Chain A
Amino acid sequence: DSGVTQTPKHLITATGQRVTLRCSPRSGDLSVYWYQQSLDQGLQFLIQYYNGEERAKGNILERFSAQQFPDLHSELNLSSLELGDSALYFCASSISGKINEQFFGPGTRLTVL
């Protein structure tokens, strides 16, 4: 158990809908990262937050957004969902925004029908 929690574990929704994925980092970690894992794209970095502020952006679509709240939990919002958004979404956390080990949550599996 990494100490990172993600909810929900599974999410099934329809095209065009909007969903919110939630992540609670390990106690004391200030950085949160979001990743998408799909069969065709592999594991891709989406976005990083550090102590409430956006630190780095990866291959995140404009339909996706994220935020980190004062209690350090983070939410990833996915809107206007398409079939291709079906994937496993991981959240990870680390102590700082620098090169540290990232601890990964168990992931949220999103299925868009």
Chain B
Amino acid sequence: AQSVTQLDSHVSVSEGTPVLLRCNYSSSYSPSLFWYVQHPNKGLQLLLKYTSAATLVKGINGFEAEFKKSETSFHLTKPSAHMSDAAEYFCVVIPSGTYKYIFGTGTRLKVLA
């Protein structure tokens, strides 16, 4: 079965420092991969998506992610964290041939002043 693993349940960074949220997926031919963000008491919002075009994907709010097939990874990065980035982030894989979203367990990002 297809799956996605978010390696860190919690990440803390200082404001202005880089953010790295890790995501690995089980191998599938050309999966689609998304990152969503969930702010407290809000629904989920799409940050960015990979659908077999460019491997480096730019999203909203300065986030980007790189699809690395050899490492089966799709890590989310941002050069400089802002207080407003504090939220929970979900990596999502959509296995090839299906339309089902499979969510990772989430990474809670804390940004310290």
Contacts from A to B (Cβ < 8 Å): 2, 4, 33, 35, 42-45, 48, 55-56, 58, 90, 92, 97-99, 101-107
Q: Which of B64-113 contact A (CB under 8 A)?
A: 90, 94, 98-106
List B contacts of A56 (CB < 8 A).
98-100
Contacts from B to A (Cβ < 8 Å): 32, 34, 36, 41-46, 49, 51, 90, 94, 98-106
- Nearest CB of chain A from residue B95's CB, rounded to whole Å: 10
The chain B residue sitting closest to A100, CB to CB, is: B99
List B contacts of A48 (CB < 8 A).
99-100
Instruction: Give bound CA distance, A43 to B92, whole Å.
Output: 10
List A contacts of B94 (CB < 8 A).
99
Can you pick out 22 interface pairs between chain A and chain B where the beta carbons lie within 8 Å of each other? A2-B43, A4-B43, A35-B101, A42-B106, A43-B106, A44-B103, A48-B100, A55-B99, A56-B99, A58-B100, A90-B43, A90-B44, A92-B44, A99-B94, A101-B34, A101-B46, A101-B49, A102-B101, A103-B46, A105-B43, A106-B41, A106-B42
Per CB-CB distance, the 3 closest pairs between chain A and chain B, nearest first, are: A104-B43, A43-B103, A104-B44
Instruction: Give bound CA distance, A4 to B42, whole Å.
Output: 12
Q: A99-B32, A99-B51, A101-B49 are in contact. Are A45 and B102 (CB under 8 A)?
A: yes
List B contacts of A2 (CB < 8 A).
43, 45
Instruction: Give bound CA distance, A90 to B44, whole Å.
Output: 9
From the candidates B32, B43, B49, B51, name the one contacting A107 in the complex (CB within 8 A).
B43
Whether B45 pairs with A104 at a CB distance below 8 angstroms is yes
- Nearest CB of chain A from residue B58's CB, rounded to whole Å: 15
List B contacts of A97 (CB < 8 A).
99
Instruction: Give bound CA distance, A44 to B36, whole Å.
Output: 14
List B contacts of A58 (CB < 8 A).
100
List A contacts of B43 (CB < 8 A).
2, 4, 90, 104-107
The chain B residue sitting closest to A101, CB to CB, is: B46
